[in-house]
Chain A
Amino acid sequence: MIKLAVAQIDTVLGDLDANLEKHLAKIDEAVQAKADLVVFPELSLTGYALQDLTSAVARPASAEDPMFEALLEASQNVDVLAGFVELDSRNRFFNSAAYLSKGEILHVHQKIYLPTYGLFDEGRFFALGDSIRAFDTPLGRLGVLICEDFWHASPPYLLWLDGADILLFMSASPGRGLDTEGALESARWVEHVAQAYASLFTTFVTNVGRVGFEDGLGFWGGSVVFDPHGELVARGPYHEESLFVSDLDLQQLHRARTRLPLLRDERTELVQRELTRIRHSRMPGSRGPRKHSE
């Protein structure tokens, strides 16, 4: 059994100290609740619509950095997944997430799909991440994706194949699409896809959303946890801060995959073969022949 704490928080735009302080307080709360892991939203240490603040709030994912020093210390008692702007050694900035456990940085995920359309402008400010890896933790093998990453079907699929039994999604998604329903269209969409991944991959899936406003952009919260049967385990409130703890019964993986052996039956070689064919024959910019015989 894993106790997962979901920290659905608001952030202060560009104020690392204020956000760090809130993280440490929420981590304390999670420890009090005897959680094994506390997960924060996308860019939880910086705020979302950073624009020209991006370079000013960028920090290396390193124990030498004071912000990480404080978080690593806090991670002695509970694992922590938090979002930040990562500064790499070549002075590039990534929309990243760091998984900390027992004083160590176990994994950093750099967002691989940067939405640059509609109200989004991430590609203007961030460098593209280039890897999708599951990673081992004391709690099992996990996978992390950031918002737009899971609007594409392939990253969750790859993490599933790479052994992740718990998918941790982090979002800072401005709410949009007001109609007659009780939740915004964007909230419903994210919930649908999180549920679909849990069902299709027979894994645990959580999406941690943030709340609050940045100018007129309002973040809806509504964090969700789904079990390997695709059933809703918990949902955070809409538009309000919350920290809630869900029990993930890992035995459910056993039962779900007995009932539905989708992972066992997944034909990765066929996928790879067909993907290679498609890449060579059909995808834009392909150098291969337009018609490729099988």
Chain B
Amino acid sequence: MTQDEIKLEINPSLARKILTGFIRSETTRAGFDRAVVGLSGGVDSALTCALAAEALGPENVLAVRMPYATSTSESLDHAELVIKLTGVQGVTLPITDAADVLLDDIPNDQQVRRGNIMARMRMIVLFDQSADFHGLVIGTGNKTELLLGYTTQFGDAASAINPLGDLYKTQVWQLAAEMGVPEVILEKPPSADLWIGQTDEGELGFAYEQVDRLLYLLVDRRHSPKDCVEAGFELKFVETVVSLVQRNHFKRVMPPIAKLSNRTIGYDFLYMRDWGT
């Protein structure tokens, strides 16, 4: 029965309207009329780029390609496709030299460490481009990866605003199709492209189609893990996902501040970021 509750299909044109409105509003009230997007060649950043272009005008969006030596040429080509299609400005700034200064001391088999350095190097480049282009950094993280913690803190997770953060990966695909993201990007296996042969689903150990359904029940529908097992999800899978969501919560919140005074940021000093705008 519980399986029938899973409704991951969205009205993409409504999502498009809300998210372009969000990008326009939150960019301009922060004092910007331009945006910077890191473009990997994957579907999340392609969609973010298309939404930003529609929200702010393509001339006001800078798409930054930041390949590392091992990045596939396919990724670069797909990013180029998106730049052409959306009409945004594009720039390619390889991170190899900068990253290698640190990576030279890290053994090749420590892939996660190496991947984190690449992700954080891209963050540095992106925020520097933000200053140069006078554009706000638009994040590309989706709800699935935020919940699973499949993201580098202060790396790809760093942004000024995050339009896709409440869309599961399978919903990102739906909206990306609506926005005209090329088939070749929609259909390739998702990958952070941090090392050769890496794929999200290979690394996570399960498919997005599957985990999105489970997350939807756990998070959106507030079902217990037990309910999900009864609905037909494997116990081991449910346990793994519940544990990932919990263990990675630190990536989704600001660092806790030790309370000493009567009024402390985060606890009883409470303002929206849009305060006064």
Nearest A-chain residue to B17, judged by Cβ:
A239
- Which of A82-90, A133-141, A211-219, A228-236 faces chain B? A211-219
B161 partner residues in chain A, CB cutoff 8 A: 216
Known contacts A52-B271, A178-B15: does B276 contact A12 (CB below 8 Å)? yes
B72 CB within 8 Å of chain A: no
Are A14 and B276 in contact, CB atoms less than 8 angstroms apart?
yes
Contacting pair A51 B270 (CB below 8 A) = yes
In the complex the two chains form, is A216's CB within 8 Å of B11's CB?
Answer: no
CA of A180 to CA of B178, assembled, Å: 13
Cβ A178 vs Cβ B277 within 8 A: no
Q: Assess whether A180 is in contact with B9, with CB atoms less than 8 Å apart.
A: yes
Residues in A with CB closer than 8 Å to B14 are 178, 181-184, 238
**B277 CB contact (under 8 Å) in A12, A180, A181, A218:** A12
Q: Which of B9, B270, B277 contacts A179 (CB 8 A)?
A: B9
Contact segment of B18-26, B189-197, B198-206: B18-26
**When the two chains form their complex, are residues B18 and A52 in contact, meaning their CB atoms are under 8 A apart?**
no
Contact of A52 (CB < 8 Å), options: B7, B11, B22, B269: B269
Q: Are A52 and B270 in contact (CB under 8 A)?
A: yes
Query: Per-position contact with B for A166-184: 1 when CB-CB < 8 Å, else 0?
Result: 0000000001001111111
A218-B22, A239-B21 given as contacts; is B10 within 8 A of A14 (CB)?
A: no
Are the CB atoms of B271 and A216 closer together than 8 Å?
no
For B74, list chain A residues within 8 Å (CB): none
Residues of A within 8 A of B21 (CB): 213, 218, 239
Are A213's CB and B11's CB within 8 A?
Answer: no
Any chain A CB within 8 A of the CB of B183? no
* Majority DSSP secondary structure for residues of B touching A: loop
Contact with A along B41-66 (1 / 0, CB 8 A): 00000000000000000000000000
Q: How many A-B residue pairs have CB under 8 A?
A: 67
Contact partners of A214 in chain B: CB under 8 A: 272, 274
Please give me the residue from chain B that is nearest to A178 by CB atom: B10
Write out the residue numbers on chain B whose beta carbons fall within 8 Å of the beta carbon of A184.
14
* Count of chain B residues with a beta carbon within 8 Å of a chain A beta carbon: 26
CB distance from A289 to the nearest CB of B (A): 36
A13 to B270, CA, bound (A): 13
**CA of A12 to CA of B25, assembled, Å:** 11
Q: Which residues of A contact B276 (CB under 8 A)?
A: 12-15
Kindly supply a per-residue 1/0 record for chain B positions 258-277, scoring 1 wherever the CB is within 8 Å of any chain A CB and 0 otherwise. 00000000001111111111
The distance from the CB of B63 to the nearest CB of chain A, in whole angstroms, is 23
Segment 219-277 of B: residues with Cβ below 8 Å from A: 268-277
Query: Is there contact, CB below 8 Å, between B25 and A212?
Result: yes
Q: Which of A48-85 contact B (CB under 8 A)?
A: 49, 51-53
In the assembly, what is the distance between CA of A184 and CA of B272, in Å? Answer: 23
Chain A's interface size range is: 20 to 34
A179/B11 contact (C-beta < 8 A), A213-B25, A218-B21 known: yes
Given the interface contacts A218-B18, A239-B18, A239-B21, does A178 sit within 8 Å of B272 by beta carbon? Answer: no
Tell me, in angstroms, the Cα distance from A239 to B18 when the chains sit together.
7
Is the CB–CB distance between A13 and B15 below 8 Å? no
Which residues A135-189 have CB closer than 8 A to chain B? Answer: 175, 178-184
CB neighbours (8 Å) of B9 from chain A are: 179-180
B277 proximity list for chain A (CB < 8 A): 12-13, 15
> A13 and B275: CB pair below 8 A?
yes
| Interface flags, A196-239, vs B, CB<8A=1, else 0 | 00000000000000001111101000000000000000000011
Contacts of B268 on A, CB cut-off 8 Å? 52
Among B162, B166, B272, contact of A49 (Cβ-Cβ < 8 Å): B272
B275 near A238 (CB under 8 angstroms)?
no
User: Which residues does chain A contribute within 8 Å of B275, judged by CB atoms?
Assistant: 13-14, 53
Contacts of A215 in B (CB 8 A): 26, 272-274
Taken together as a complex, chains A and B put the C-alpha atoms of A12 and B274 apart, in Å, by 9
With A12-B276, A13-B274, A52-B269: A180-B22 Cβ-Cβ less than 8 Å: no
| Nearest CB in chain A: distance from B115 CB, A | 28
Bound complex: CA A178 to CA B268 (Å): 32
Q: Supply 5 further A-B pairs (C-beta < 8 A) apart from A180-B10, A213-B21.
A: A52-B271, A178-B10, A178-B15, A178-B18, A180-B11
The 8 closest A-B pairs by CB, nearest first: A51-B270, A213-B25, A52-B270, A215-B272, A180-B9, A49-B272, A13-B274, A214-B274
The 22 listed contacts between A and B (C-beta, < 8 Å) are A15-B276, A15-B277, A49-B272, A51-B270, A51-B271, A175-B18, A178-B15, A178-B18, A179-B7, A179-B9, A181-B11, A184-B14, A213-B22, A213-B25, A214-B274, A216-B22, A216-B161, A216-B162, A218-B18, A218-B21, A218-B22, A238-B14
